[in-house]
């Protein structure tokens, strides 16, 4: 059983969950008198990445987006230099709470795809470890309340400390394999999210009239996906939907446009699909129904969404339109809109900085 003197942790984070896990592992390593370094991959400005020190244990920590590692982490892994180091893969996924039972999230293909990439570069996978920290995807479900957030952090902190103690001592741990059946079952969703879903979510964020143009969202975006357009924040298709902007806006001005996306979907089905069905879609469908329904319709929908999003951005200057946009955004309402930031290793109530 191999022991390690040096640990290198690479992480990507939105609202802090992955950074919190990295800090928890660092704390265990420090207690074991190990040399531990942490790198936020969003701070790396160019490739190739510096070669890891031979013999160091490498740990990669990332959230799960659409049952996969987000594109920014997959791109980082694909550019990572070849090596022979031992590797631990960890993820943070959507933990919820029913009573005192933590409902586990789903890792999907996150571990299997990243393990394949790293194995092809010569690395040896020693562990796949999921961590169920609070879900932060407010665009899709209500934000969790503070007692739930605290409970999940306390529960997962103890779990990570126990598992980290084992893997840092050289033991293997593949707890993720217990869920391989359900993870593979959702793998088609992973592909659809990567090809389509993430672009749709990227065009649902907007800054309401509460925005004072402080620029915090633009400065803190880990993938530089927010820019100034007409002196207001504007989300590009490269947005990872990591929720950092929404959860850290000092004025809670960033919302998800639920009513807007429903309107675009209605326009698409009644307008564009109606025209297609009237002018030859049956012929295309007869040749290749999957190509028509998945590729052609997706491209057309994303095109319509991009045009409508630009129009929405322009129309927000009118007070009546901005109010209508806000009142049809679920994130605007108290029952839905609890913003989320991960808690630091210092204990209850102390937000981690990132």
Q: Is the pLDDT of residue 347 over 60?
A: no
Nearest CA-CA partner of 200 in 305, 311, 87: 305
Strand partners, 132: 93
Q: Is the pLDDT of residue 354 over 50?
A: no
- What's the mean pLDDT when you consider all of the chain? 90
pLDDT-derived band of residue 350, with 50, 70 and 90 as boundaries? very low
Q: What is the pLDDT of residue 133?
A: 94
Strand partners, 306: none
Is residue 63 within 8 Å of residue 18, measured between CB atoms? yes
What is the average pLDDT across 15-32? Answer: 95
Q: If you write DSSP's letter for every residue of 142-164 in order, what string do you get?
A: PPPPHHHHHHHHHHHHHHHHHHH
Q: Tokens for 219?
A: 């400065």
For 193-332, give the CATH class.
alpha beta
Report the distance separating Cα 353 and Cα 23, nearest Å.
11
| Distances 68 to 90, 107, 194, 228 between C-alpha atoms, Å | 12, 7, 8, 30
Angle at 102 between CA 96 and CA 108, to 5 degrees: 70
Of all residues in the chain, the percent with pLDDT exceeding 90 is 74
Name the residue ranges covered by the structural domains of the chain: 6-189, 193-332
Strand partners, 11: 40, 61
Nearest CA-CA partner of 202 in 241, 157, 258, 163: 241
Q: Is the pLDDT of residue 227 over 90?
A: yes
pTM: 0.90
Task: Give the phi and the psi of residue 132 in degrees, each rounded to 5.
Answer: -95, 80
Give Cα 322 distance to the centre of its chain.
28
**pLDDT tens digits, one per residue of 231-255:** 999 999 999 999 999 999 999 999 9
Q: What is the pLDDT of residue 12?
A: 96
Is residue 344 within 8 Å of residue 20, measured between CB atoms? yes
What CATH number matches the domain at 6-189, 3.40.50.720, 3.40.50.360, 1.20.120.550, 3.30.720.200? 3.40.50.360
**pLDDT tens digits, one per residue of 111-120:** 999 999 999 9
Q: What is the pLDDT of residue 348?
A: 40
pLDDT-derived band of residue 310, with 50, 70 and 90 as boundaries? very high
**3 state SS of 92:** strand
Report the distance separating Cα 172 and Cα 309, nearest Å.
48
Report the distance separating Cα 36 and Cα 239, nearest Å.
31
**3 state SS of 213:** coil
Q: What is the pLDDT of residue 218?
A: 97
200: Cα within 13 Å, side-chain hemisphere: 19
Task: Give the phi and the psi of residue 74 in degrees, each rounded to 5.
Answer: -65, -40
Q: Is the dihedral of CA 118, 123, 128, 131 positive or negative?
A: negative
Q: Is the pLDDT of residue 349 over 80?
A: no
Q: What is the pLDDT of residue 291?
A: 62
Report the distance separating Cα 170 and Cα 3, nearest Å.
5
Helices (H), 47-179: 71-79, 110-119, 146-168
What is the average pLDDT across 282-292? Answer: 60
Is residue 22 within 8 Å of residue 11, measured between CB atoms? yes
Q: What is the pLDDT of residue 98?
A: 81
């Amino acid at each position: 059983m191999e022991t390690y003197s040096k640990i290198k942790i690479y992480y990507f984070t939105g609202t802090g969950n992955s950074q919190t896990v990295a800090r928890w592992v660092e704390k265990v390593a420090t207690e074991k008198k190990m040399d531990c370094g942490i790198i936020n991959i969003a701070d790396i400005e160019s490739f190739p990445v510096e070669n890891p020190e031979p013999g160091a244990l490498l740990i990669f920590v990332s959230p799960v987006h659409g049952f996969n590692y987000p594109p920014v982490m997959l791109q980082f892994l694909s550019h990572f230099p070849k090596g022979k180091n031992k590797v631990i893969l960890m993820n943070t996924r959507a933990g919820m709470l029913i009573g005192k039972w933590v409902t586990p999230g789903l890792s999907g293909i996150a571990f299997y795809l990243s393990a394949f990439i790293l194995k092809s570069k010569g690395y040896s996978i020693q562990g796949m470890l999921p961590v169920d920290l609070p879900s932060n995807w407010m665009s899709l479900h209500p934000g969790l309340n503070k007692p739930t957030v605290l409970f999940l952090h306390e529960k997962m902190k103890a779990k990570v400390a126990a598992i980290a103690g084992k893997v840092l001592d050289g033991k293997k741990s593949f707890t993720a394999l217990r869920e391989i059946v359900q993870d593979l079952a959702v793998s088609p969703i992973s592909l659809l999210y990567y090809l389509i879903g993430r672009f749709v979510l990227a065009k649902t964020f907007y800054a309401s009239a509460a925005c004072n143009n402080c620029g915090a969202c633009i400065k803190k975006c880990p993938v530089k996906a927010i820019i100034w357009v007409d002196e207001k924040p504007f989300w590009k298709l490269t947005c990872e939907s990591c929720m950092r902007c929404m959860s850290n806006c000092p004025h809670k001005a960033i919302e998800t446009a639920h009513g807007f996306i429903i309107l675009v979907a209605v326009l698409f089905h009644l307008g564009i699909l109606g025209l297609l069905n009237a002018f030859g879609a049956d012929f295309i469908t007869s040749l290749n129904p999957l190509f028509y329904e998945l590729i052609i319709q997706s491209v057309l929908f994303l095109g319509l969404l991009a045009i409508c999003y630009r129009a929405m951005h322009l129309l927000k200057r009118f007070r009546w339109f901005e109010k209508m946009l806000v009142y049809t955004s679920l994130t605007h309402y108290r029952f839905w809109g609890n913003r989320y930031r991960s808690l630091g290793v210092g204990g209850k109530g102390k937000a981690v900085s990132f």
